[in-house]
Amino acid sequence: MGKSMNLAIAAVLLAAAGCVDGTKPVGPDRASVEAGKRARMHVSTEETKPDGTMGGKGGALHMLAQGMGVPSLETYSLTFPATKNDDVKREIHYEIAGVKGSDFLEIVIPEGSLLTWPDGTPITEKDTVNITITVDPVYFLIHLAPAGLRFDPQIPVELNLFYENSEDDLDGDGDADQDDETIRTTLLDTYARTGPNVPWTLLPSAHLVETREFAANLVRLENVAVSW
Ligand SMILES: [Ca+2]
Ligand SMILES: [Ca+2]
């Protein structure tokens, strides 16, 4: 890495720190968590713009983050086999001291749903597909691979994402009030894209506002985010 790149990253981190000061965090823990989130966004994802927002259709996309102090997930990477001949269902939960907690994700691949490999080759009844779910540790963002694998639109995959453990201060002004609730109930949605250089587009889903859950149908493996 060249000196200019190091300087660029340092400048971005300084800018991020300035952002945190400007939002009047409620305490030092909040500030350090927020700084960590923003630093991570700038340094380790290829999906962010220089201002820390995600590239979205017609503007920035704000990804929903996990709340502070919420339990970890039981796993952040899950690989499982699927065939055309069986229903496959997998779940990822939160976990506290080795005990399974509330739901984070549920995916169902119905019998007959697997259609084509990413290169367009048909998936046959003899094929076994190893599907991998990778979960972002900070945001409600999952990567589904092999990206581009297609499902029969008549028998789509069912994906449920549960966000009861999300952050409450969605607008980042240091409180959790009606403004945040309005964002959650009216703007929050699911978005998808197949790779880092492709724009995010709305992924149609049902928003169960009361239970804080999104239910989407997938016709291909891609990246899915809960965002606004
Ligand atoms: Ca707020
Ligand atoms: Ca407020």
Query: pLDDT (tens digit, 9 = 90+) per residue, 79-116?
Result: 999 999 999 999 999 999 999 999 999 999 999 999 99
- Which residues of the chain form CATH 2.60.220? 72-227
* Residues shown for the chain: 228
Residue 183 Cα to ligand 1 midpoint, Å, equals 10
Residue 93 near residue 72, CB atoms below 8 Å: no
Residue 176 Cα to ligand 2 midpoint, Å, equals 6
Q: What torsion do the CA atoms of 50, 187, 220, 153 make, to the nearest 10 degrees?
A: -160
Residue 104 Cα to ligand 1 midpoint, Å, equals 23
pTM above 0.85, yes or no: no
Q: What CATH fold (topology level) applies to the domain 72-227?
A: Chondroitinase Ac; Chain A, domain 3 (2.60.220)
Condensed to tens digits (0 to 9), the pLDDT of residues 133-181 reads: 999 999 999 999 999 999 999 999 999 999 999 999 999 999 999 999 9
Nearest-5° angle of CA 171, CA 142, CA 133? 160
